[in-house]
Amino acid sequence: MSIYPNISDFLLDNEPSIGSPAIIYDYNSIVSTVSKIRNDIKIIPNVELCFAIKANRNKIVLKLLSDLGLGADVASIHEFEIVEEIGMNPVYSTSPAYNEKFLEKLLERNILPDFNSFSQLKKYVEEYNLNEVGVRVKVPLKNIHPDITYGEQSRFGINIDSDEFIQFINNKKLKIKQLHFHLGELQNSSIIKEAMEYIYSLSYKFQDLEVINIGGGLTYLYSDEIEVKKSWEIVKEYVLQINRQLNREVKIVVEPGMLILAMSGYLYSKVQSSDLSINKRIITVDCSAWNLTYWAYPYLVHSYSDSMNTTEEEHVIFGNTCYEKDVFISSVRHKPLKINDGLLMNPVGAYVNSMARNMHGYHLPDEWILKDSTFIKAGN
């Protein structure tokens, strides 16, 4: 894997003394991941690395990313207000449902929204007399995976080849300054080539184009280093063609969320019960997979146990709600875990607390940053 969890020696040798449950962000791992992505994309002219705030809204973590020079992509007024407070810059935005309050805040900051629907674009162009806009586009793809990669069937984006859209922008003399696409998971270089070829074809139509935002959805791609390199080479070549066609450099924005933080996050939890049932050891921990890991699929990467029994058993690790299918890990071979043993699961750095449920009223885990051998509180 191109980006993968690299557990610090400190976590391997020392059980955290921070209380459980907790989410731990490994500072050195975050820095290393950002550096790796930057190094990969630096071949692309005028490229900007941003973070999709929907993946994690922790202010301390976002300040860390800001200090590393990352900008932000926001989809709600709540995300925008956090970014404003922290001072992340630059800021880009696309959203399925802009309202007046959110849109006005963006326009006050001279942030051009990338409209996600034609009806919203028409409404706000007329309401605010806009003469330049950004657009999230539907990209026609031949080869898609219906569960993770979306083309014209996606509910997101505008069909900018439609007669209605073209007639509207011509009548209003609208300048299309930004094109934004986000296709779910960009699985491989073939998908990226299709998308960039389509964007290149659009550059002939929109001579005022300044920014191309290729979104995120890069985690699947980053499981294959060869595909990573091929993909960024493809992006570079199409960007060079677009620049030649427009006779200037456009800004290229890359704004992953999961890729930047997921592998650097660990869930520390404690075993609350341990019982044998039908040849499996049923483990319940002190937090809930149903509440926390709907978009994360954690693995048990380390345990803190003084058990002398080294005979492995099959374990199922459950969360602490009354939901029958509250399962963190459906099967793992391990020496018998017992009550109060500590567990470390990964990856949980993205799309965990930011989209948590609240069954039984359980509080979210405390969040901490581990920098070398020091734990720094990062919110409750």
Contact predicate 122/135, CB 8 Å: no
Burial group, residue 127, by CB count within 10 angstroms (0-12, 13-18, 19+): exposed
Nearest C-alpha neighbor of 75 from the set 58, 100, 92: 92
d(CA 361, CA 100): 33
Taking the mean position of all CA atoms in its chain, how far away is CA 209? 26
d(CA 378, CA 380): 7
Please give the DSSP secondary-structure letter assigned to residue 358. -
Return the structure tokens found at 23: 């989410």
pLDDT tens, N- to C-terminus, the chain (380 residues): 467 778 999 999 999 999 999 999 999 999 999 999 999 999 999 999 999 999 999 999 999 999 999 999 999 999 999 999 999 999 999 999 999 999 999 999 999 999 999 999 999 999 999 999 999 999 988 766 666 667 777 888 999 999 999 999 999 999 999 999 988 888 889 999 999 999 999 988 999 999 999 999 999 899 999 999 999 999 999 999 999 999 999 999 999 999 999 999 999 999 999 999 989 999 999 999 999 999 888 999 999 998 878 889 999 999 999 999 999 999 999 999 999 999 999 999 999 999 999 999 999 999 999 999 999 999 76
d(CA 74, CA 77): 8
Q: Which residues are catalytic?
A: 322
Number of alpha carbons in the 13 Å side-chain half-sphere of residue 330: 3
Return the structure tokens found at 158: 């505008």
d(CA 159, CA 172): 18
Q: Give phi and psi for 154, each to the nearest 5.
A: -65, 145
Angle at 109 between CA 94 and CA 258, to 5 degrees: 35
pLDDT at position 244 is 97
Name all domains of the chain by residue range, CATH numbers in brackets.
Answer: 27-261 (3.20.20.10), 262-378 (2.40.37.10)
> CA torsion angle for 60, 66, 72, 75 (degrees, to 10)?
10
Nearest C-alpha neighbor of 288 from the set 323, 240, 253: 323
Return the structure tokens found at 366: 């405390």
pLDDT at position 144 is 65
d(CA 273, CA 280): 13
- pTM for the model stands at 0.95
d(CA 220, CA 356): 23
Please give the DSSP secondary-structure letter assigned to residue 353. G
pLDDT at position 306 is 87
pLDDT at position 207 is 93
pLDDT at position 280 is 95
Contact predicate 30/259, CB 8 Å: no
DSSP string covering 319-346, please?
-SSS-TT-EEEEEEEESPP-TT-EEEEE
DSSP string covering 13-81, please?
HS---S-SSEEEEEHHHHHHHHHHHHHHHTTSTTEEEEEEGGG---HHHHHHHHHTT-EEEESSHHHHH
Angle at 377 between CA 374 and CA 379, to 5 degrees: 160
pLDDT at position 1 is 47
The type of residue at 347 is P
